[in-house]
Amino acid sequence: MKTNKNLSLMEDLSQSTDKSSRRAWLAKVGMAPLVTLLAGQASANAAPMVSPSRSLSAKELFQVKGTFINAAYTHPISISTSKAVQAYIDRRLTPDRVNDEKMDSIRSEAKELYAKLINASVEEIAWVPSTMVGENLIVSGLGLPGSPGRVVTDILHFEASLYLYGQLAKQGLDVHVVRAKDNRIDLKDLEAAITPGTKLVAISLVSTVNGFQHDLKAVCDLAHSRGALVYADVIQAAGAVPIDVKASGVDFCAGASYKWLMADFGIGFLYVRKDRLEQLKRSQYGYRQIETFTTHTFPFDEPGKVPYEFTAKNDIGGHFQVGTFASGTIAALRDSLSYLLETGVDKIQAYRQPFLKKLQTELPKLGYASMTPIESTSPILAFAYKDAIHKLQPKLDAAGVTVTVYENRFRVSPSVYNDMADMEKLIEALS
């Protein structure tokens, strides 16, 4: 049976026109002995041996224990990605110039892969420690703290972001929070909130609360027509749903690597549209921003009237990158992003839909009120249930099923290592 899964996964990959990259990926995930077979299958254009949804199953690529339907909390890394991290650690045992150059290459490749994932140019991407650091850099770069301008956000935005704007409201910023209706943010309510003087519209593309997904292009078209810019938190979207920053027109977005990008903690990406960079000032300063640095103090220095001189980089890194990068996580990202691009985020999204439909159909029958729009295709479902943390958590623990449980709701988020049997186990545990 495992061989059949591998063969069917390769049938999907055989549609790629780049045979060398396909074979490299297969070797990475431990399927090298079957590469020759793949070549024969591809040349014959053979039909998949199983259904397309089954063929994308990636259980064999992960070592998930129990029934883990909680990728929105933190996505497990794959076996292949863990090997990439171990290779980085092995290089750290003997640091030298060659290994430093290797890490520089990995860093460049990872950034290029992410840029491709969201259809950005590499020159529009900066490394940041986390999603929230990215949002703070945009807010500070626009000069919003202490200003009288307006920010429009919504109640389905990340709670730490709402905390950020709540704190800025205490400093005089005009913050308007759009409320949800029927578990959605109505574009008409956003339109009414974007009054003259609005500087920024800040949203989560996919809400961590209930999986509601904004029509990003519609939001950007609306905001731009009113002279406002748009920031999108994409941590629950990048790697889970297709993103095209060019088509949407979004001005800024940020996300981190430990959720649907399938890597680890400690690093994220900030996207700034190329023509928006000049509107942002530097609000933090550090080593990564320095273009040149010359001293006039130490032995053999050229004399000068000042102790040192410097110039700053004018690219996106020169605006936002400050200090040390989480290199181990970047090594993980190069591997996991390769998997996402080889597989196709659109295929991953389609693979997940039967699971979501099953839960949206069955759990309300058991008394759990859906908080997620029925038409949603994002990776997150949420259900309301009074005193969930006390009534449901023990049942889930006993069944070996992991989802995120809050005081009066719970959130389910399946990924490529899940299958329909996992959904059945969740339903049984909650029955």
**pLDDT at residue 162, as a whole number:** 98
Tokens 């997940």 label which residue? 352
Tokens at 279, concatenated: 């509107």
How far is it, in rounded angstroms, from Cα 299 to Cα 362? 76
Q: What SS3 class is residue 88?
A: helix
For residues 137 and 128, is the Cβ–Cβ distance under 8 A? yes
Please name the amino acid found at residue 221.
Answer: D
Among 120, 121, 345, smallest CA distance to 237 is for 345
pTM of the model: 0.86
**pLDDT at residue 33, as a whole number:** 30
How far is it, in rounded angstroms, from Cα 50 to Cα 8? 6
User: Residues 91-114, buried b or exposed e (16+ Cβ, 10 A)?
Assistant: beeeeeeeeeeebeebbeebbebb
Measured CA distances, 419 to 1, 31, 41, 268, 338 (Å): 15, 21, 25, 29, 22
Question: How many CA atoms lie within 13 Å of 234's alpha carbon, on the beta-carbon side?
Answer: 29
The answer for residues whose C-beta is within 8 angstroms of residue 262's C-beta and 6 or more apart is 75, 76, 77, 78, 81, 239, 336, 339, 340
**pLDDT at residue 96, as a whole number:** 86
How far is it, in rounded angstroms, from Cα 161 to Cα 163? 5
Among 326, 333, 332, 325, smallest CA distance to 87 is for 332
How far is it, in rounded angstroms, from Cα 318 to Cα 310? 13
Among 368, 420, 329, 271, smallest CA distance to 107 is for 329
How far is it, in rounded angstroms, from Cα 335 to Cα 144? 37
**pLDDT at residue 2, as a whole number:** 36
Nearest-5° Cα angle at 366, 364 to 370: 25
Tokens at 239, concatenated: 């790697």
Q: Consecutive 10-residue runs of the chain (431 residues): their mean pLDDT?
A: 34 37 40 30 28 60 95 97 95 86 93 98 98 98 94 98 97 97 98 97 98 98 98 98 98 98 97 97 95 96 95 95 95 97 96 97 98 96 98 97 98 97 98 95
| Sequence-ordered strand ranges (E) for 267-318 | 268-272, 290-295, 308-312
**pLDDT at residue 42, as a whole number:** 30
How far is it, in rounded angstroms, from Cα 429 to Cα 394? 10
**pLDDT at residue 330, as a whole number:** 97
For residues 346 and 322, is the Cβ–Cβ distance under 8 A? no
The three state secondary structure string of 152-194 is EEECCCCHHHHHHHHHHHHCCCEEEEECCECCECCHHHHHHHC
